[in-house]
Structure 1
Amino acid sequence: MNSLILLSIALAVILGLAAFLFFYLVKFVDKDEELVIEGLTEQTIIHGPKAAVLPMLRKSIEVRKAVSLGAMDYCVIKNNLTGAKRVEVGPKLVFRKPYDEILKNKFGLEKRKATSLKSNEYARLVDEQTGEVRVVRGKHGCLVPGPYEKYMDGDKMQAVDLRVFEYVKIQDRETGTIRTERGEQLVFLGPFEVLMESKKVAIEVDESTAVLVRNKRSGQLSLVTEKILFVPSNDEEVLEVRQLIKLADYEACIVRDKTGKDIFYFGTNEAQRSFFLPPHSELVALRWSQGRRRERRDLKITKLDLRPMYMSFEFNCRTNDNVELVLEGSFFWEITDLQAMVKFTNDTTGDICNHARSRFIELVSKVTLQEFMLQFNKIAEGVHQNDNSNFYDQRGVKIHSLEVTGYRCAESSTALILEEIIQETTNRMNRLQQQESENEIQLKQIRGDIEEEKARAELLQIQTDNSNARSKMEGLAEAERVKSFLVDLSNTFPTMDEATKIGMWNTLRKEDALKAISNGNAKLFFTPKDANLSIECHDHSSDWEVTKR
């Protein structure tokens, strides 16, 4: 019984030891795995699928997955024993050799993506071992750098696409040569080529545009005026695009040539009114003072206007009674001799205002404030009309008029007094104007009355003339009737005397009068001479009674 137990125990120990030895010495490796055995002196790698018998003496073992690469994947493997690198490109499973290490990219990944180039793309790769540069142009489906290569430009690059009116300059840093490429085309850079500048638009040279070009090989300047789409050659550099300078009839400009001589161009001259600035020449810019006090000399003028123009000014001066005034005014002036102006002054407006200021100070200092207020216009006229210094003629300018448009006291206290004086003067003028208006109204009324009376007198004269004429006509008519009556009586009764005829006429006239009275409300009284009757009048509307025989 005891022996049977001992036998069972021994058998179990043997089986356990066999199982331990089996699992310790045998390892099964799949198809996508590899077994890394770190021996006592070297590293061994067994690729699957395989059942591997492990050595008894070893440091460690490791089963790891092989690297699966897709169609656009690759990896860089370095052998740590020899330091050599190699590139594995998919699609495949990558099994490492002893002491191999897969290098990670900047993102910490073992697998890297190959570059796909389009037809307008390219890549430049430099071999860090040999320094050789490789250029790969599209179309390229899977671009994989060599083990010691890296991208020169960091990544793939776009080719320079040039249209028909564009160009680009490229320099080869290996030889130093420069080439110019113009459109239409795609431009790929060579191994050592760089763009000197971004692509540029060609210059359209026409009637109003020219190009100033310097030849870098000979150093000479030239002005291109031929009507073309200008693209500089390899050795040419565009310095300036110059526009046609056009002058109106009233304009002029100054051109300084390479010898320093000033040439004057006038718009009135047909041969000079439009031109391109020649090489080695410059358009002279005059710098004049501006501002009411001419305190800034920053007015840049290249074209001069020869027409008369206005210019304002402001400066301080002091009267004879020590009152400081601020004068404001304007010049009406023009340039009459451009050559003389350039010869004698480089600041025309500043010189004119400063000279006028000196004259004003001189004349104003001789009068009091009250005298100045009464005759400041005459003082302004005397500043330039009585100026015998030949100052303006020498500088080629003419002053047509100089006016003082306003003045004020520089000190506030004096200004208050002057304001009161001006206010009182204004009030007095207003009162005078009001009185003149009232006098004018009264005069108009008197003249109206006179005209009315004249019209009334004329009316009375006309009425009198008309009445006299009417009476005269009525008398003539009455006389004609009397004459006709008497003539008819004489013809009918030749023996009747004149007294009887007149009596008969009077009787007929009384009858006519009675007919006229009977038609109205009139009352007729007959005297005893007219009729031998007694007449009594009883008028109830009055307190009297008349009886007449």
Structure 2
Amino acid sequence: MGCCKSAQYGCCIAIDDDESIILNKPTGKEIRHGPGWNFFPCWYDVNVIKSIPLQRNEYLVVKHIINDRKSKAHATNTSNKEEGIEFINADAASEDAKLMEIIHGPQIYRIRNPYDQISDHTVNRGIKQMLNLSSTQYLIVTNKFNGEKKVERGPKLYCPRPSDDISDIRNMYNLSSTEYIIVTDESSGEKNTVPGPQLFCPKAYDKISVVYSYIVLNHTNYCRIIDSRTGVMRMEEGPKTFALGPYESLIKLDNQTIFDIINIDNENAVLVKNLDTGFDELITKPQKFIPSFTQKFLEIRKLIKLAPYENMVLIDKDGQHILKNGLKDKSFFIYPYQQVYTQEWSNDLNKNHKSINKVDRFDTRNQYMDYEFLVRTADNVEIILDVSIFWQITDLYKLVLVTMDPPEDICNHTRSQILSEVSKYNMKEFMELPNNMLIDSVNKDDNFYNSRGVNVIRVEVLQKRCKDAEIQKIFKQIIDEKTNRIKNNEKQEASNEIRLRDLTGQIDAEKLFGTLLKIKKENERQENQADGIAEGSKIQNFINNLGDDIPLEKKLQIYFDIQNTKRLELLASNKTSMYLTPKEVDTKVVNVNTMYSTNDVVQQKDLNRINIEV
């Protein structure tokens, strides 16, 4: 851009292609666009304005001021035809009408009217950014002049108008298959349920609730739903998932909205209250039970089972007692307005009702309990007595009517009977008194027990001890002395018995030893006799087999020679040194080469002998 100035001829200015000048003349304003030289008088005011490049996501707001209606109409008719320009009638009733132009990019904006004003031109030359909305975003636009609202949703580039009040960019509601929302139209007050799955874009006047999850019911659940607008109630049973209506809510009972379906079988029944009649009902028919809207669930009642020895008492609404026996009523349900009768039995050692046991099942078998109480002898010595009482329930109806604590009554009555007997003896006599005499004082056939429906079978004394520790110590010493004396006597008797048994054993052993010697001698004699008979039989057979032609003396000589030969062989087979004197040597060795039978005739001359005499 170049400029020259002369007082005689005026001024001239050169402007580029992207520049324009506004001449402020006395008669009005004029705009000239480049490129080129422009001449004007020197008393004109000149403003040089550069063109504004706009990107695709940029825009300008231009205010066009016109003084006469004709110029206004001309500007409106010409400008509306140009691309990228939008006119907004800001205030048609004002004296100087204002037309606002919105210039969209992409383009290079060159001012067209000398009366145009760019809004907020001091900030970034008035260039504003469009709002980039993605496919999951939206915003609410409010018209400042008439208050109307509309929704602009993506994907798009949104160019706000000067009269628009823009909300924050919001994300659409991406609802899954298990989510839903409640939409309230603030213009009409109507509500609707929008279930998933979907991408939901609210309308301009919609108020959105929080995102709710579907109600999930499995095959054992149910729930109750009420419509707050109509008051109609309905019931949903699983398995299923569902969304509540806009005016619906879950009915809450005992801080619970989803309930379990009740299985009624042979072991379980359900007690409900009929809200129409006000009466309680017990439902025992096997089924999957869901209370209706006229029924209020109270409780599940279990089937009561009694053993043959067990009994139970029920009280009905009129206060009557109902006896249940295990032999007849083996199992039953407790019906409405019936309750189980319960007693509190003392289970402490002193039976003073400080420790109790609640009993609702009465056992008719023999029962056992320990009882400790204080007695006083004739010489005013206090003794603690421990007893064991075996008793049995014989009539449950009498027991229920007469007493609330049978063990306490039995123990107190037994104590009174024993006290009357103990008062007859002093301490020494009482301590030495046999337990059976003390037990006999208890009258087991007393009407006291019969009136309470119980029977005392047996009473046993477990322990007797003095309450005073010093007396108990002295009494213990006496008992210890007696015990030691008995122990020593028993020990001496045991020693004598052992010694006597030892002597008796020795005597028996000697007798048995003598008998053994006799038996040994007799056995030895019989063995020798048997050996002699066997040897004689052997010799006789040998001699008889030599034949009848040999004399007996020769036969005996032959036998003796053979025996001597065997002795020599036995002697020679062992490595033994034997020293003999000449007088002691008398050894003969006979070799018999031939043996003849008794039928052959043997001649003495035919016998070959070898006689060796040493």
Task: Tell me the distance in 2 between the aligned counterparts of 1:419 and 1:88.
Answer: 106
Give the number of the structure whose alpha-carbon radius of gyration is greater: 2
Q: 2:55 aligns with which of 30, 55, 70?
A: 30
Render the CA deviation track for 1:169-221: whole Å, top value 9, x for unaligned: 22223333332222333333222222224333322222222222323233333
| Runs of 5+ consecutive residues of structure 1 not aligned to the other structure | 104-109, 468-549
Supply the AA of the counterpart residue of 1:351.
D
Structure 2 equivalent of residue 203 of structure 1: 262
Counterpart for residue 430 of structure 1: 484
What is the rounded CA distance, in whole Å, between the counterparts of 1:427 and 1:381 in structure 2?
27
Residues 161 and 455 (structure 1), Cα distance of their counterparts in 2 relative to 1, 3 Å cut: closer
Alignment of 1:30-429 (within 5 A): 30-35=55-60, 46=102, 48-49=104-105, 51=109, 54-55=116-117, 63-79=127-143, 84-103=148-167, 110-139=168-197, 141-152=198-209, 154-163=210-219, 165-196=220-251, 197-269=256-328, 272-294=329-351, 295-296=353-354, 298-316=356-374, 324-359=382-417, 368-375=426-433, 377=435, 381=439, 385-386=442-443, 390-406=447-463, 414-429=468-483
Q: Which amino acid aligns with 1:303?
A: R
Whether the 8 Å contact between 2:345 and 2:357 is mirrored in structure 1 is: yes
Distance 1:367 1:59 in 2: 128
Q: 2:138 touches 2:152 (CA, 8 Å); kept in 1?
A: yes
Q: List runs of 5+ in structure 2 lacking aligned partners.
A: 23-45, 66-89, 92-97, 522-614
CA, structure 1 residues 65+335, in 2 after alignment: closer, same or farther (shift >3 Å)? Answer: farther
| Distance change in 2, residues 1:306/1:66 (3 Å) | farther
Which residue identity is paired with 1:421?
F
* Partner of residue 496, structure 2: 442
Q: 1: distance between equivalents of 2:354 and 2:51? A: 100
CA deviation after TM superposition for structure 1 residue 91, in Å? 1.9
- Name 1:497's counterpart in structure 2: none
1:174 alignment partner, SS class: coil
Identity %: 31
Q: Contact (CA 8 Å) 2:310, 2:364: kept in 1 or not?
A: yes
Displacement of 1:70: 1.8
d(CA) in 1 for partners of 2:370, 2:139: 82
Separation of aligned partners in 2, 1:83 and 1:356: 99
Instruction: Note closer, same or farther for the CA distance 1:450–1:158 as it changes in structure 2 (3 Å cut).
Output: same
Deviations along 1:211-262, whole A, 9 cap, x unmatched?
Answer: 2232323333332222222222333233222222111111111122232211
- For residue 296 of structure 1, report the CA deviation from its aligned partner: 3.9
Report the Cα offset of residue 451 of structure 1.
6.6
Q: 2:61, 2:119 within 8 Å by CA — same for their partners in 1?
A: no
Q: Check whether the contact 1:38–1:60 (CA below 8 A) recurs between aligned residues.
A: no
Q: Deviations over 1:281-331 (max 9, x none)?
A: 222233333333444465232322211122233445555555555544432
Superposed CA RMSD in Å reads: 4.4
Deviating more after overlay: 449-458 vs 10-19 = 10-19
User: 2:374 & 2:110 partners in 1: Cα distance?
Assistant: 112
Change (3 A) 1:77 1:216: farther
Q: Structure 1-normalised TM-score? A: 0.68
Partners of 2:416 and 2:138 in 1: how far apart?
90
Which AA in structure 2 matches 1:274?
S
**SS where residue 248 of structure 1 aligns?**
coil
Shift of 1:45: 7.8
Closer/same/farther in 2, CA of residues 177 and 441 from structure 1, 3 Å limit: farther
How far apart, in 2, do the equivalents of 1:170 and 1:361 lie? 73
Question: CA offsets per residue over residues 469-503 of structure 1, 9 Å max, x none?
Answer: xxxxxxxxxxxxxxxxxxxxxxxxxxxxxxxxxxx
1:342 Cα deviation (Å)? 0.5
Instruction: Flag the 1:289–1:432 CA change in 2: closer, same or farther, 3 A.
Output: closer
Determine if contact 1:216/1:236 at 8 Å carries over to the other structure: yes
Deviations 1:264-294 (A, max 9, x none): 011112xx11122222222223333333344
CA contact (8 A) 2:375 2:419 kept: yes
- What is the aligned residue count? 449
The amino acid that maps onto 2:246 is: P
Structure 1 residue 407, shift from structure 2 partner: 5.3
- 1:335 CA drift (Å): 1.1
Superposed CA deviations along residues 61-116 of structure 1, whole A, max 9, x for unmatched, are 6644333222222233445565554433222233333354444xxxxxx3322223
CA distance in 2: counterparts of 1:157 and 1:117, whole angstroms: 10
Secondary structure of the residue that 1:55 maps to in structure 2? strand
Q: Is the 8 A contact 1:380 1:403 kept in 2?
A: no
Q: Matched residues in 2 for 1:181 and 1:342: separation? A: 49
Deviation string for 1:118-144 (max 9, x for gaps)?
3343222233454322112233x2123
Secondary structure of the structure 1 residue equivalent to 2:278: coil
Give the Cα–Cα distance (whole angstroms) in 1 for the partners of residues 448 and 463 of structure 2: 25
- The separation in 2 between residues aligned to 1:438 and 1:326, in whole angstroms, is 36
CA distance in 2, matches of 1:75, 1:327: 95
Q: Distance in 1 between matches of 2:301 and 2:225?
A: 25
The one-letter code matched in structure 2 to 1:88 is E
Q: Distance in 2 between matches of 1:171 and 1:187?
A: 14
Shift of 1:369: 4.3
Aligned counterparts of 2:480 and 2:249: Cα–Cα separation in 1: 82
- Residue 80 of structure 2 corresponds to none
Tell me how far 1:376 sits from its aligned partner. Answer: 7.9
